[in-house]
Structure 1
Amino acid sequence: MIIDSNVYWLPEELFTSETLANQFLRSVPREYDVYAHKLVSSDGRKEFVIEKPEGSANLNYFSGDYALEKQLRDLDEANVEKVVLKLPGCAEWLTLDLCKKFNNLMAERVRQSKGHMEALAVVPPRADADVLKELTRCVTELHMKGVQLAAHYGNKYLDDPMFRPLLKKINDLNVPVYVHHTPVPTEYTALLDYNNLRRSYGRCEDQTIAVSRELFSGMFEELPNLKMIHSMLGGGFFAYTNMFFPTDSGNGRFNTNNEKIKKYLNKNIYFEMSHAQPWGVAQLECAVKVLGADHIIYGSSYPVKKSWLTEGPTYVESLNISGADKNKILSGNAVNIYNL
């Protein structure tokens, strides 16, 4: 069995309803230097472009990419039995009203998929009573398998105390968090000049900062059930078990008493592997060796590139790792963590 734990979804109504499109565009926070435009792409499709800062495109959403029939055909071609749906990066700024609307539409998509799709809830990160009520509804009534969050909101990463009430509720509900990394971290001036530097390396830097802050903050001492699944296997994954936990103090320069933090990495942090394919086999084999196959979950970021979905399972099968480890990556870890 193959499970893709990172398939993007947006309602097609977003491209056909002017009211919903305007509501979506109004939610994008220009005061935080994020800009959104709706236009017609070169091939005639409707497109949303998300820029941060203005003039630096980081996310693109195209009409037709999220149609149920198309996605089911592509899943069948890829021999993928089940996928976990999430929004493509825009969870960072959605209002509660939009979250409710998207959650209902996602739940309907899951129903229409006849067992091939599951979904992750989306809620605003500042957890007042209404937000917590919506989160609970998504898990207990809509049967969503986890929660999707952005790696940071504005200039605040998830270890910030302002997010603790939401994370505490997620911990109590005992569902996982999928953490989506944006193309740029909170400080990004040096990344702006070059597109690939911003969109590719920017995600890596964002993940390294996010994971590190979660580990060193001690938040998992308070939230022991919390499982954070970080997207795209970016960042310096090699550093999490080596550079951040030195065994030599460097004549007192480094803290080597990191056993508790290492336990957090082993128990609370997982990685979804989409965007690892373009890096090549050697890098993913290195990640398996460093992080362990039981901490890596297969995902494709479909429909960003169809080939990442259709060729992804073959790519994992080509790795020089055991058959048991391949099965963990392709389905076993997702089954266990998402309770599929």
Structure 2
Amino acid sequence: MTVVDINIHHLPEDLFSNPTMLNGFLDSAPRGFGEIARVAQLDDGRQQLILEKPAGYQNLNYVEGDYSAEAKLAAMDEAGVDYGIMRVPVWQEWLPLETCKAVNDNAHEIVKRSNGRLFSTACVPPWGGKENVYELERCVNELGVVGVQLACHYGQLYLDDPVFEPYLKVIERLDVPVIVHHTPLPVEWKTVIDYTNLRREFGRITDQATAVGRELFSGMFDRMPGLRFIHTMLGGNWFANTALLTPHASNKKEAITRLDPTGGEKIKSYLENNIFFDLTHPHSWGKAQVECAIEVNGADHYMFGSSFPVFYGWMSQGVEFLKNTVEISDAEREMVLAGNAKRLFNLPI
């Protein structure tokens, strides 16, 4: 059975050896808002790029050598992954245009060296200015990217904010799907920072669920019905929220209206046509949870992702879990492992 991993992390291969590239990443983190970016050395001599918010609370660690084409392909061979889609993990929230261009060029070089096994997504600032649009068009028309990546929020602004609409309309016109990656922390982050797992896992889940909810209730898909968003982290457990947050009318006359009972059919249509989910390292979530997610939102809405190389083991564990542990039909398994990715990203596989 063919396997496509839609969540393989990409960073420039010369990130730690090219001062211009490294400074492009370090200098983009907004220190004035408490994002502390620094380089440290591991005991074995390799470097790592660390992001903290606030100082002393690590949210990201990028290790030298983990992001090479050779590391990706070796992990795929070991795990039984046939194809992979690359994305810049998290940092795209801040990267300036010139750094994005270099990131996109290096991703294109990796794609060419992969013998058809790896595909890239466009990393571009989402502000809609003509230079940003030109870079997006270059990525699609010249570099052959299969999708666009966005952060689920930029600073204080989630993607339903009107400031993003000019850029999103270009994406809709180009007819490419959007991978909406989580950010290091949600906008409201202070309640989750004290404990590592709460900060580095639940913080991302909260961020994704907030983003999906805002997109569904904003009406943005009425204005841009051709957009297709693929959210990481199962959309922040959105399967558990699907029924609860779909508007329902009461069967009784109530004293006051505490919840908006309208728009349920539109929410259902957005979930059907515009929102899809990255089944990120599925074994971590558990058999019952993954089976429930697929039952609630449909196998045609989920795609396998590993987040490689956050943990090297996640790729092989995820493939084994989906092939041998989750109890779904063979047709559903094929959709989750490869069919949905091939369809949504129009992969030539």
Q: What range describes the TM-score normalised by the shorter chain of this pair? A: over 0.9
Which position in structure 2 is the counterpart of 1:99?
100
The answer on 1:316 being equivalent to 2:322 is yes
Q: Secondary structure at the match of 1:121?
A: strand
Matches within 5 A, 1:1-80: 1-80=2-81
One-letter amino acid matched to 1:36:
A
The normalised TM-score by structure 2 is 0.94
One-letter amino acid matched to 1:22:
N
Seq. identity, %:
47
Q: Secondary structure at the match of 2:122?
A: coil
Q: Secondary structure at the match of 2:322?
A: helix
RMSD: 1.3
Displacement after TM superposition at 1:195 (Å): 1.2
Mapped to 1, the partners of 2:272 and 2:235 lie a distance apart of 17
Q: Secondary structure at the match of 2:123?
A: coil
Mapped to 1, the partners of 2:46 and 2:53 lie a distance apart of 22
Which position in structure 1 is the counterpart of 2:213?
212
CA contact (8 A) 1:110 1:119 kept: yes
Q: Deviations over 1:295-335 (max 9, x none)?
A: 00111001111211112221012211101000000000000
Which position in structure 1 is the counterpart of 2:272?
266
Mapped to 1, the partners of 2:45 and 2:329 lie a distance apart of 46
* Equivalent of 1:327 in 313, 322, 334: 334
Which position in structure 2 is the counterpart of 1:306?
312
The normalised TM-score by structure 1 is 0.97
Mapped to 2, the partners of 1:108 and 1:148 lie a distance apart of 18
Matches within 5 A, 1:129-148: 129-148=130-149
Which position in structure 1 is the counterpart of 2:297?
291
Q: Deviations over 1:252-288 (max 9, x none)?
A: 3223331112101110000001143212111111111
Q: Deviations over 1:76-119 (max 9, x none)?
A: 11111110011111100000000111111111110011101000
Which position in structure 2 is the counterpart of 1:255?
260
Moved more, 117-126 or 73-82: 73-82
CA contact (8 A) 2:212 2:235 kept: no
Mapped to 2, the partners of 1:19 and 1:131 lie a distance apart of 20
Q: Deviations over 1:26-79 (max 9, x none)?
A: 111112221100110233211000112222211110011012222212111111
Which position in structure 1 is the counterpart of 2:244?
243
Mapped to 1, the partners of 2:32 and 2:240 lie a distance apart of 34
Mapped to 1, the partners of 2:331 and 2:185 lie a distance apart of 35
One-letter amino acid matched to 1:165:
P
Mapped to 2, the partners of 1:240 and 1:339 lie a distance apart of 29
Count of residue pairs the alignment pairs up: 340
CA contact (8 A) 1:58 1:183 kept: yes
Displacement after TM superposition at 1:234 (Å): 5.0
Tell me, which stretches of 5 or more residues in structure 1 are unaligned? none
CA contact (8 A) 1:36 1:51 kept: yes
Moved more, 276-285 or 111-120: 276-285
CA contact (8 A) 2:240 2:293 kept: no
Runs of 4+ in 1 over 4 A off after TM superposition: none
Mapped to 1, the partners of 2:13 and 2:135 lie a distance apart of 23
The answer on 1:281 being equivalent to 2:282 is no
Displacement after TM superposition at 1:247 (Å): 2.9
Mapped to 2, the partners of 1:100 and 1:175 lie a distance apart of 19
Mapped to 1, the partners of 2:185 and 2:123 lie a distance apart of 21
One-letter amino acid matched to 1:256:
P
One-letter amino acid matched to 1:286:
C
CA contact (8 A) 1:147 1:176 kept: yes
One-letter amino acid matched to 2:329:
S
Q: Deviations over 1:175-219 (max 9, x none)?
A: 000001123110111111111111111011101110000000000
Mapped to 2, the partners of 1:188 and 1:242 lie a distance apart of 26
Q: Secondary structure at the match of 1:253?
A: coil
Q: Deviations over 1:101-145 (max 9, x none)?
A: 111111111001110100000001111000001100100111101
Mapped to 2, the partners of 1:35 and 1:130 lie a distance apart of 28
Tell me, which stretches of 5 or more residues in structure 2 are unaligned? none
One-letter amino acid matched to 2:181:
H
Moved more, 224-233 or 309-318: 309-318
Moved more, 138-147 or 191-200: 191-200
Q: Secondary structure at the match of 2:280?
A: coil
